[in-house]
Structure formats: structure tokens, C-alpha cells
């Protein structure tokens, strides 16, 4: 349970940095508090998409991972971000990603933020 909360916070941080860097990624809300709530909800949606949809897509696109020498990783991450944007639109959450290349950039930023936070705070199993 705690791991899910940590992942949600890290995803929210990555989404915040992505929205700050890319004009095509928007987080709406009337106040800063509303935007923070939107980011947390979107982070949870993104976590669910990555938990349940991404493994299926990754498995089905495995030959493309091999053919592209791993570059398909970026495409799948971008598609997961676009799916998160679509689900957010269905549930009227104030989050939108405009275009595939913006999604690729946003997914790359989220990946880098997750990696940096993972370096700073390793999982408990690695603590000695």
C-alpha cells in the first residue's frame, strides 16, 4: 500500500514537471489546491494504466521492442500517457495531452523524474 502512495507522489511530481516543460500538457483547476488535487487524481489514473494496461501492450509489442532496439519503450510510455489523458477526459479531470510528440516528451520527463527519485530514495529492500 505504501509503495502505491510513493508511486502516486512520484508520478504526480513527474506530471507536474512535464506540464511545466511542455505547453501541450495542461493541468486545469481554478486554484492551486484544485490543480494539486487534479495532479494526484491523474497520477492515480496513470498508475492504474501503467499497472494494468502497460504490461499487455508491452507483451503484444515485444517483437517491435526487438526490431526497434528498445525505442518502442518510449512509444509505449507515450501511449500510456495519452491513454491517461483520454481517461481523464472521460471522467472530466482537468488533464490533457496535446499530440503524440508532446506525449513522448512528457513520458520521457516522467521516466527521468522517476529514475532520479528512485536513485535518491531506493526501495526498502535495498536499504542495509
**Which residue from 12, 38, 43, 37 is spatially nearest to 27, judged by alpha carbons?**
38
User: Bridge-partner residues for 26, per DSSP?
Assistant: 96
What pLDDT does 128 receive? Answer: 52
What pLDDT, in 10s, does the model give residues 37-67?
A: 999 999 999 999 999 999 999 999 999 999 9
* Total length of the chain: 128
Say which residues have a Cβ less than 8 Å from residue 39's Cβ, sequence separation at least 6.
12, 15, 16, 27, 95
Task: Judge contact between 124 and 24, C-beta under 8 A.
Answer: no
Residue 126 has pLDDT above 60, yes or no: no
When comparing pLDDT for 119 and 84, which is higher?
84
What is the average pLDDT value for the chain, to the nearest integer?
Answer: 92
Amino acid at each position: 500500500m505504501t509503495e502505491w502512495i510513493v508511486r502516486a507522489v512520484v508520478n504526480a511530481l513527474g506530471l507536474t514537471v512535464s506540464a511545466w516543460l511542455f505547453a501541450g500538457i495542461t493541468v486545469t483547476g481554478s486554484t492551486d489546491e484544485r490543480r494539486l488535487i487534479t495532479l494526484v487524481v491523474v497520477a492515480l489514473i496513470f498508475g492504474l494504466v501503467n499497472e494494468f494496461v502497460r504490461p499487455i501492450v508491452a507483451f503484444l509489442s515485444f517483437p517491435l521492442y526487438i526490431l526497434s532496439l528498445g525505442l518502442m519503450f518510449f512509444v509505449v510510455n507515450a501511449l500510456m500517457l495519452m491513454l491517461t489523458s483520454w481517461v481523464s477526459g472521460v471522467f472530466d479531470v482537468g488533464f490533457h495531452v496535446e499530440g503524440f510528440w508532446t506525449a513522448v516528451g512528457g513520458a520521457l520527463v516522467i521516466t527521468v523524474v522517476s529514475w532520479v527519485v528512485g536513485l535518491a530514495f531506493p526501495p526498502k529492500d535495498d536499504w542495509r
